[in-house]
Amino acid sequence: MIEVHDKRHRSCLPAWNWPWWKPPSPAPAQRTVQASLTELVAPRTYFDTPIYMMVLQRYPWLVTLMLIQSTSGMIVERFENLIQQHVILASFLTMLVGGGGNSSGQTVAELVKRLGMGEVRSDDLCRVLRKEVAIGLFLSLGLGVVAFPRVRYLAKSATDLDAAAIALSYCLIVVVANSIGVVVVMVLHRCKMAAVGSPPVVQVVVDVTGTAITMVVANAVLGVAKGE
């Protein structure tokens, strides 16, 4: 390589070769193509995203979850005789299902944050599941202690068995809800959809599972035959 020390000799070199360490600037047409590709690849902000695109993104999720959540009605119909003889179950069904949603919601928020920070990876599923199940067990014990007297002494015509069935259902729902939250978040994280899909999916699955747990536990504790 020939080094040029005199500024007078620079004009003798080709324009694209001086200075030699800088790449040639792209042509105007090439810059336009690069800008267009950047706009297509770069994620849009909330206000720049058209309404129809957001609707198309959300609609399939909501339709699928609506159909899944409708199975709760089928479960309730299956145990119609149980509910007719123990109407108090219907009164506290919202509390039971909501308790599972509250517990799983905390799990989802915690995991999404930890995954975003890189503290937790998808390969840590078993470790996270063990920890969240342990957390759920401790939480369920504390919540069950509060749920029993709440039902027994503050609800009209509630018996000890009614309170026991509801408190036991609450405990099981909390543990199962935490487990569901972990599995759903980890699976969707592998699909790059943890932040968007986890909350609604977990909520629907916990609602259906909580309804089933309540009916099965109440039927076992209260000794009422299933409705046909």
- Torsion over CA: 187, 116, 206, 71 (sign): negative
- Mapping DSSP to helix (H, G, I), strand (E, B) and coil, where does residue 26 land? coil
pLDDT in the model for residue 45? 85
- Mapping DSSP to helix (H, G, I), strand (E, B) and coil, where does residue 133 land? helix
pLDDT 10s digits, 169-228:
999 999 999 999 999 999 888 887 766 678 888 999 999 999 999 999 999 998 754 444
Residue 184's contacts (CB-CB under 8 Å, 6 or more residues apart) are: 108, 198, 201, 202, 205
CA–CA separation, 82 and 225 (whole Å):
7
pLDDT in the model for residue 157? 85
Tell which phi-psi region holds residue 169, choosing left (phi > 0), alpha (psi between -120 and 50) or beta: alpha
Grade residue 21 by pLDDT with cuts at 50, 70 and 90.
Answer: low
Least confident span in 31-45, 50-64, 88-102, 124-138: 31-45
Predicted structure pTM score: 0.76
Q: Residue 59: phi, psi to the nearest 5? A: -60, -50
CA–CA separation, 126 and 138 (whole Å):
19
Indicate if the pLDDT at residue 105 is higher than 90.
yes
